[in-house]
Amino acid sequence: MRVLLAGGGTAGHVNPLLATAQRLRERHPDAELTVLGTAEGLERELVPRAGLELVTIEKLPFPRRPDAAALRFPVRWRKAVGEVRALIRDRGIDVVVGFGGYASAPAYRAARLERVPIVIHEANAKPGMANVLGARWTDFVGLSYRSTTLAGEFVGMPLRGEIAGLARTGLAGTGVREEAIAELGLETDRPTLLVTGGSQGARSINRTIVAAAEQIVAAGWQILHLSGGRQTGFVPASTDHYVAIEYLDRMHLALAAADLVVCRAGSLTVSELMAVGLPAVYVPLPYGNGEQGMNAADQVSAGGALLVADSEFTAEWVRTRLVPLLRDADRLAEMASAGAGAGDGSDRMCELIERAAATRRQS
């Protein structure tokens, strides 16, 4: 099976692509996998690191206003589509799998013109423009969230192997939690509040947690605070039972140690927490088109998470809302159970690809 995986730009596109590729190689050791991306996105570093070949095309944003870039777009679009069509023919591609991002739209159009099956994975509750376009040309659309407006079937989020392992085995009795607590410098006799704003951090979340750290600790908890690598001027809290780490590349350790998470609501983050069965307090980004709030909607409606606006996430909110939750072990257990989601997204996505490839062989 020869597969072209297209997507990239952000971790929300690249990580599901890599997780799917990893599982495809396990299920089909003789599969030939090629990744299509751009030279500017995260795929530039992450794809070769994963041992996959990366072929790049020009980064080609859809024009959103009538300007000079919009006038140049048709020519650049035809060139990009032509390059992908040539790649599909040269490699004898059986199926094109897109994950959204700049490289996906030309890949979908090229596959359509070459009569190659298209498979789409939509990671967000609010679908992106590239996937909305591609979904017009295929019945093989996998969704991370049941509430997504795009027509397709629920597959969940393809997860990295170490995260999927936590989802499959759980934490009890495996020793993973104990190992994580020891490695991160935490204590075994206190539950852990994990706070993270992603790799870049979130200044508003950091500020509130530092200001309210003593209240959280007084509730009997400890804090693992991942401040983010781009937060200049960050000053950690000066209290016991508080561990601050700028960036943690082994995120599965933080999830294994956590009992509750305060974080943004990016699609990958929400899916990982649901897969592992961790309750959460989501503080969506205060800008954009509201997609982060939509990502959290399934878990919130199921009772597995709380949603609070960035402007409302203050030390006072922590005192009146978060601290009472930290003291309510029964409610936290109910939230963990209610919000649990699919942890087998990689396998479900591979099955979708296999079904699509079968239609190619039959035609």
Residue 63: the pLDDT is: 73
The topology (CATH level 3) of 169-338 is Rossmann fold (3.40.50)
- Measured distance CA(77)–CA(65) in Å, rounded: 16
Of these ranges, 131-135, 197-201, 226-230, 336-340, the one predicted with the greatest mean pLDDT is 131-135
User: What region does 127 belong to: left with phi over 0, alpha with psi -120 to 50, or beta?
Assistant: beta
Contact 234, 206 (CB under 8 A): yes
How big is the CA angle at 170 (ends 167 and 172), to the nearest 5 degrees?
A: 165
Q: Token pair 């804090």 is at which residue?
A: 223
Sequence ranges of the chain with CATH classification 3.40.50.2000:
2-159+344-362, 169-338
Tell how many helices (H) and how many strands (E) occur in the chain. Answer: 15, 13
**What's the predicted TM-score (pTM) here?**
0.85
- pLDDT tens, position by position, 56-104: 999 887 777 777 777 788 999 999 999 999 999 999 999 999 999 899 9
**Paired strand residues for 36:** 6, 55
pLDDT band at 169 (very low <50, low <70, confident <90, very high): low
Of 2-6, 155-159, 326-330, the least confident: 155-159
Give the pLDDT mean for 169-182: 74
pLDDT value of residue 41? 84
Query: Quick check: 168 pLDDT over 70?
Result: no
Q: Could you tell me which of 188, 194, 304 has the C-alpha nearest to residue 245?
A: 194
**How many C-beta atoms surround the C-beta of residue 167 within 10 A?**
22
Q: Domain 2-159+344-362 carries which CATH code?
A: 3.40.50.2000
Instruction: Give, in degrees to the nearest 5, the angle at Cα 296 between 178 and 268.
Output: 60
B/e letters for 232-263, b = 16+ CB within 10 Å, e = fewer, are eebebbeeebbbbeeeeeebbbbbbbbbbbbb
Give the rounded distance of the alpha carbon of 5 from its chain centre: 17
pLDDT digits 0-9 by tens, 208-223? 999 999 999 999 999 9
